[in-house]
Amino acid sequence: MVHAPYTYKEAFARLDRNLKKDEKLSIATMSSELSELHMGLGMWIRNHWIYGHPEFLQNEHPKTDTDFTILFMPDRMSEELLRQYRRHLRTRYKITSK
C-alpha cells in the first residue's frame, strides 16, 4: 500500500514523476476553473491519497486549522491540492496566470 503524501512538496514530486510534460503544461495553463480535472486526476488523488489515508497532507493542515472544508471534504482537498500544484507548475514554467 502506498502512503499518502504528508506535504504539498511530496505530492508535487509524485505528480511531477507521474505526469507527462504536456499534461503538466495543460494544468499550468488552465484558467481559474479546475473542474475539468475533477473526474480524472482529481478522482485519482481522492481514491489513492485521500480516502482511507488520514495522514494526507497532515503537515500542511494542522488539526488546529479552522478551515474544516479543506480538512474533511475529499473533493475540496483534491481541488486545493490541484490549485496549489497549478501554482507550482506556473512558477516552474514561468507562466503568468490568466
pLDDT-derived band at 71 (thresholds 50, 70, 90) equals low
Write down the domain spans for the chain.
Answer: 19-92
**CA 9 → CA 15, 31, 48, 68, 98, distances in Å?**
10, 22, 17, 22, 24
pLDDT of residue 93: 94
Q: Helix, strand or coil for residue 33?
A: coil
Q: pLDDT tens for residues 11-52?
A: 999 999 999 999 999 999 998 789 999 999 999 999 999 898
